[in-house]
Structure 1
Amino acid sequence: MITTHHKKLYEGKAKILYSTEAADVLLSVFKDDATAFNAQKRGTIQGKGAMNCTISSHLFQQLETAGIPTHFIEQLSETEMHVKAVSIIPIEVVIRNLAAGSLCKQTGLELGTLISPPLVELYYKNDELGDPLLTLDRLLLMKLATSEQVAQLAAMALKINDILTSFFQECGITLVDFKLEFGLDHNQQLILADEISPDTCRLWNQSETDPSRRVMDKDRFRNDLGEIESAYQQVMQRVLAHSL
């Protein structure tokens, strides 16, 4: 619950971060707001904040158990979690297992084309510039991270992909692609931050073959497919049913 002890530090498209009485702990509050196409499309998904908070909490715990350090501390309520304070690296790491979205538009690859080994892409986290795709040389030129950190980011992302792909497989869901964000904690350790949810992952229902009906993620909002809340709800139910 937000009190006078909490000072708003940052408000993004999907979450608000507040300070707490502990300097190295933040309160992350998930919102129902929905955006797409770099916030050119805006709307609300009823109950999204609660569903994404719960899904993220359980997936972070799955990853922690598998040896991935994350910023997650505890879920406090349906929409709130305590997280470790980190300095976010302004790079979005995207892992692609199947061709979809911008990759299809930019390369002509057919939707659903298997990508093996998985493709690791790095994007500059900057809304004003449209989150552009980066080359390693550009990333180093901009001093967004060191070459060692980039290698660590890619290695951690691929390990996370292995863990999540197997987990979602147990849920009857295909992990098509997803976005990760990382930060440095007070010990300068690289840890996973942000969230893992239908907002940041493309997820396809394995029991559906229809290209529209199988979608269980924010593409339902992006592409006006309808039944958005029920898709998120189904992901949450499956994640809870298969969590530790």
Structure 2
Amino acid sequence: MEKIYQGKTKDVYRLGDHQILLQFKDDVTGENGVFDPGANTVGLTIAGAGRSGLKMTTYFFEVLNRLGIPTHFVSSDIDKVQMIVKEAQVLGKGLEVICRYRAVGSFLRRYAAYCEEGQPLDSFVEVTIKDDERGDPVISEDALAMLGILTTENYQVLKSLTQKICGVVKDELAKKGLELYDIKLEFGYDKADNTLLLIDEISGGNMRVYKDGTYIPPLELEKLFLS
């Protein structure tokens, strides 16, 4: 296999025939040894985090595929901590799309003068540029269009897909008494047919989930959710 990218939480290999292999790692994002799904650096290594992330990712992608929602998921091997996906072209040089149901994390830090911690939000969608050097800045719909990163039409598709996907994830978590506060997704264009689809992963490593007002760490979340 040809290794084409070494990421923070997974390594990427080309398989051919428009397919990619993702090797999940035990590194998670955060700062000063504290996990933070919105951070742009690896903050710590948690034994079993890769396997845990893949198990949850597989569960959610299988649900989304059954619902006919476009994703890059093809198959996974939990024992090898690997996932095979469709090859996709990232949006611009990489975007992250966050859907927020409560005011926490960077949203709270930015807008604390106007909201309280944990304040309900109505499926609020925001987009950030993947740019470690500049701290992954938030970018507006107008700027995305003016800079040639994403057309206004495709932004609306992106926003609609995000809210639909996150609604499914939120409902699935709620079945176990878990509340989704926010989640970070990534999208790309299928290199085979240029369809906009969900890529990367859906796991405890890119969401904040609470139970009865208490934050649930990623590995504990997987155990609670998949038990």
TM-score by length of 2: 0.89
Runs of 4+ with deviation above 6 angstroms: none
Query: Within the alignment, does 1:204 sit opposite 2:190 as a pair?
Result: no
Match of 1:235 in 2: 221
Partner of 1:121: 126
Q: Percent identity?
A: 31
Partner of 1:10: 5
Q: Is the 8 A contact 1:93 1:180 kept in 2?
A: yes
Distance 1:164 1:41 in 2: 25
Give the conservation status (yes or no) of the 8 Å contact 1:33–1:43. yes
Say yes or no: does 1:97 pair with 2:101: yes
Residue 233 to residue 42, structure 1, CA distance change in 2 (3 Å)? closer
Q: Which residue of 2 aligns with 1:190?
A: 196
Decide which of 82, 85, 98 is 1:83's aligned counterpart: 85
1:146 partner amino acid = T
Letter in 2 for 1:85: E
Q: Secondary structure at the match of 2:139?
A: coil
In the superposition, relative to structure 1, how do residues 233 and 119 fare at CA in structure 2: closer, same or farther (>3 Å)?
A: same
User: Does the Cα contact within 8 Å between 1:173 and 1:204 map onto a contact in 2?
Assistant: yes
Gaps of 5+ in 1: 1-5, 218-231
- If each structure's strand is expressed as a fraction of its own residues, which one has the higher value? 2
CA RMSD of aligned residues (A): 1.5
Match of 1:199, SS state, is helix
CA contact (8 A) 2:61 2:73 kept: yes
Secondary structure of the residue aligned to 1:111 is coil
User: How far, CA to CA, are the matches of 2:127 and 2:83 in structure 1?
Assistant: 27
CA contact (8 A) 1:19 1:26 kept: yes
Aligned amino acid, residue 85 of structure 2? V
* Match in the other structure for 2:56: 55
TM-score, normalized by length of structure 1?
0.83
In structure 1, distance between residues paired with 2:219 and 2:216: 9
What does residue 64 of structure 1 align with?
A: 65
Report what 1:150 is aligned to.
Answer: 155
Corresponding position of 2:139: 134
CA distance in 1, matches of 2:99, 2:199: 16
The runs of 5 or more residues in structure 2 that have no matched partner are 32-38
